[in-house]
Chain A
């Protein structure tokens, strides 16, 4: 009964969304206040209805109602409660339901908190947002209905893929979707503004918080996925340039560019045309990602669907929204008034460079992701494009980006002083130089470029601190003055500090781990020892154990450093009950200097085990860097100047209702 109610709620949500597309848009066209105001209750009831559908499905999962096909295929009665709940989005149909739920959540948030928007713009934004909802609700109901019943109901379900039964992965999809579905708001604002024909600094001010929120969640979502891959897949790697990873990374790159160009537009009214285009492209890449992951055009770790009907449907959605958005842009862009002027060497100029490199990088990732599919479609030839491709194309584009990064905030708007910025960065250059020498002194292995890569990361970190020190006049003003300045500094400045510092950490972690990782593959019997980067690792025993829904062979490794036991690692090989599938659990000893990472393979005839032991230097910096970026975004978002609905202070930002 609850399942049918959920299905019914989803159909109602579709009807509400249709009303939300048509009535407010028409109302905005004829300037009818009452029709425009339909958008708000519609957006909120759309959210409530989709939430009803979502929780109806979750109820079926929690109560293990195997008369629902989706539950029978993807759940099992013995699964821990948390994974019964997370199982809702661990499959195609359920994850599409989560997709539309988040889409509706953002729509309702604009309806509730967008009080400072001009009424026509708000009505149009909600109307465009609802049109995306209509497309995806239709997709869900017609091709991916999670509420299909199964008769007779099987006694038990097939279970959730055990590698997905993991806390980080349970919460990875909601964060990731909040990120890339969140960019729909930027898209809706762009389309609404193009229809409206009014694009100014205020527009950027309204769009930026939403984009920032989406970007934060995408950042944390991607890094959670990467962290999960690192410890759960047992390969010791953290990024594989897998098409599914790329699918979320492309909108992240474009979204990062959008955040920065919206800044220029807000402060200087420049780059208006570009920012609007970028808003359309960013969400188009989100749709592209959805297409890649959900259509089954490729199969990889995360893809479960192989159904052409779905692929064609999503492709149609992608073509409609991207094509429609770009066509509207082409029609209206010429009417946008060009904004503020600036010299190439200026804050604006540096942000243009940032955009250029980020968008080009996104394009290379797109080529590397789509080329194998296109080639196979055209010639039938099957190829794979792996890390070497991305290292050759994406990598070189990041170097100038990171070199330029600390300059940006130090250059003035309109016309910057490059020499002055270089002088201020002297300390960062020095830090980089010391790093190069220090790394060469400690590590003789690895590629000769690696110390420079690490130094680049240190330079970015130092640059972030210098920018802050500069703003609070650290070193040049008295202590009281510095404290006063530091407390009065807008939160967005701290956001920049944290986010840019995080980028530097990320770079240090990536280069150190990739260049100086130590790897041992060997056959070990209980009692055998191996030295891994100064750790003495002794294989003590293997025992058979039993978890809630699996049995495992759990090994014991004693880890000593300088004669003292520092850790006991227990990597395991699990066999889940349903579905009967083995998984590898890594044993990780984490420290600042790096992770000792041990996994065991299958038992060998002589009583030994194949063992892989890694030392991944500074690998924690990767996720810590991402976390810094996430918090940087959060601090920035809490700035009252950015807050949605905050009173507009400056003259340019006061919205003039377009009556």
Chain B
């Protein structure tokens, strides 16, 4: 092979690999990303049932019902609207009423949300950023806590 041909093989291989990777990335971005919504978004925008989403907000005070089994019910609220959530499993350590939470799963079509993953963040004074931003956008007052840079919800 001449020098030019060798270079051709290298460049061709490189371009082919990148092209394959690009196609994979585009398909993956189309199919496997998950959108984040607040309870108000879901009520206002009408998110279709069955589509995988993340629901973020605060766990409503007094809404957590632990049964005898492993299914737990609670409500996620952004103080304007709330959505009832069912979840089967063990909740994360920091799951608490009045605290920020992100639940991943699907809407059941009857106004409820069936979560298969529940995330709560690992700091008491701390709220998932998505939740904090979404709540601020909805006009819920967020004040800086004693910790610089950390957000704390001041619930009405």
Contacts and interface: CB of A to CB of B under 8 A. Distances in A.
Interface string A511-531: 000000000011100000000
Given A161-B122, A367-B25, A602-B66, A581 B93 contact: yes
B10 A606 contact: no
Q: What is the interface of chain B mostly: helix, strand, loop, or mixed?
A: mixed
B123 interface: yes
Nearest to A390: B28
Interface in A285-310: 296, 298-299, 301, 304-307
B21 interface: yes
Given A161-B122, A299-B121, A386 B6 contact: no
A382 B88 CA distance: 26
A227 B31 CA distance: 30
A88 B151 CA distance: 23
A371 B33 CA distance: 10
A449 B15 CA distance: 28
A521 B89 contact: yes
A106 B88 CA distance: 50
Given A522-B70, A579-B124, A384 B21 contact: no
Contact of B122 (A301, A344, A356): A301
Interface string B82-122: 00000011110110000000001000000000000000011
B155 interface: no
B149 interface: yes
Contacts of B18: 360
Contact of A612 (B24, B29, B68, B89): B89
A341 B54 CA distance: 53
Contacts of B88: 521
B116 to A, nearest CB: 11
Q: What is the interface of chain A mostly: helix, strand, loop, or mixed?
A: mixed
Contacts of A63: none
Contact of B33 (A363, A385, A600): A385
B66 A605 contact: yes
Given A389-B29, A523-B68, A299 B128 contact: yes
A397 B21 contact: yes
A343 B17 contact: no
Interface residues of A, number: 61
A568 interface: no
A343 B1 contact: yes
Contacts of B147: 73, 158
A582 B13 contact: no
B66 A161 contact: no
A388 B32 contact: yes
Interface in A324-367: 341-344, 352-353, 356-357, 360-361, 363-364, 367
B33 A612 contact: no
A371 B28 CA distance: 12
Contacts of B25: 364, 367-368, 393
Nearest to A355: B14
Interface in B30-89: 31-36, 54, 66-70, 88-89
Tell me which of B10, B14, B17, B28 has the highest count of chain A C-beta atoms within 10 A of its own C-beta. B28
Contact of B66 (A367, A368, A381, A604): A604
B151 A306 contact: yes
Contacts of A619: none
A367 B18 CA distance: 13
A610 interface: yes
A393 B28 contact: yes
A583 interface: yes
Given A367-B25, A610-B70, A384 B34 contact: yes
Contact of B129 (A299, A363, A367, A582): A299
Interface in A570-610: 579-584, 599-602, 604-606, 608, 610
Contacts of A372: 33
A612 B10 CA distance: 51
Contacts of A353: 13
Nearest to A604: B66
Contacts of A306: 129, 149-151
A360 B70 contact: no
A579 B94 CA distance: 12
A392 interface: yes
Contacts of B121: 299, 301
Contacts of B149: 296, 304-307
Contact of B36 (A363, A382, A583): A382
B106 to A, nearest CB: 15
Nearest to B133: A382
A385 B32 CA distance: 7
Contacts of B124: 579-581
A343 B28 CA distance: 35
Tell me which of A356, A357, A393, A606 has the highest count of chain B C-beta atoms within 10 A of its own C-beta. A393
B150 to A, nearest CB: 7
Given A360-B17, A605-B68, A343 B6 contact: yes
Contacts of A234: 90, 93
A581 B125 CA distance: 11
Contacts of B27: 392
A296 B148 CA distance: 13
24 contacts: A299-B121, A343-B6, A344-B9, A344-B13, A360-B17, A368-B25, A372-B33, A382-B35, A382-B134, A385-B34, A392-B28, A396-B20, A397-B24, A521-B70, A521-B90, A523-B70, A579-B124, A581-B123, A581-B124, A583-B93, A584-B93, A599-B90, A604-B68, A611-B90
Given A306-B151, A307-B148, 19 more contacts: A234-B90, A299-B121, A341-B6, A342-B6, A343-B1, A352-B13, A356-B17, A364-B24, A368-B28, A383-B34, A384-B33, A384-B104, A392-B27, A580-B124, A581-B123, A582-B94, A584-B93, A602-B66, A610-B89
Sorted nearest first, the 8 A-B pairs with minimum C-beta distance are A388-B32, A601-B90, A382-B36, A392-B28, A299-B129, A306-B149, A582-B93, A393-B24
